[in-house]
Amino acid sequence: MDMYEHDRLETFKLRSKAGLLKIVGVLVSVGGTMLVSLYKGKSLHLWNSILQHRKEQQTKSATNQLRGTIFLAGSSLTFACWYLVQSKVLKVYPYKYWSSMVTCLVGGFQTAFVGIILRRDKNAWMLGWDLNLVTVVYSGALATAGKYSLNSWAVAKRGPAYPPMFNPLSVIFTVVFDSILMGDDLTVGSLIGTAMVIVGLYLFLSVKA
């Protein structure tokens, strides 16, 4: 099995200890992420929320889980391919931050085009001095521009196989902050899944170090 790393192909054998640990780490981490989403189990109320949040005002969960699962799988697959493409681009165009800016601009135009087609209501595009504006600024400045810049830097330093392993950590932060800030109860499934993500990441990084 071959994986791109830096400017060369990193080759490891499935029968070697390092190769097995990498694969086991990836599978355990991905399995933990899926466990957090698919299995709930017993609820554990460990602390009170910081923000005032009424559970009766929570929006109902989406009923079309199949479509969401397909979109999520497609997003993960294309994002993984982006790391490989990024490593190739950096060889011929080493200006990683300019590359990130172009990526964000193209993605922004694509998102705006699709958004205009799907949401033609003018009120949906109006922004005020509220939480919606904060969400847009945060999503654009940090969740998009900052993330792509850091990803490009990490790909240039450690190769495309390294940064994706940290993506499952976003699930852990979501679970923890959702419980602390919004008051949602932790579940047995989320705790087990979080532990699996950490163990899988540790196994992978212990070999990469």
pLDDT tens profile 79-137: 778 777 877 887 888 787 787 788 888 888 888 888 888 887 877 777 778 777 888 88
Residue 89 lies in a domain: yes
**What Rg value do the Cα atoms of the chain yield, rounded?**
20
User: What mean pLDDT comes out for the span 67-71?
Assistant: 73
Confidence of residue 64 (pLDDT cuts 50, 70, 90): low
Q: Is 194 exposed, middle or buried (0-12, 13-18, 19+ CB in 10 A)?
A: buried
Beta carbons of 186 and 179 less than 8 angstroms apart: yes
Residue 142 lies in a domain: yes
Residue 56 lies in a domain: no
Residue 33 lies in a domain: yes
Residue 116 lies in a domain: yes
Name residues whose C-beta falls within 8 Å of residue 133's C-beta, 6 or more positions apart in sequence. Answer: 127
Residue 22 is part of which domain span?
A: 2-51+64-208
Count of domains for the chain: 1
pLDDT, residue 11, reads: 54
pLDDT, residue 92, reads: 85
Residue 192 lies in a domain: yes
Residue 59 lies in a domain: no
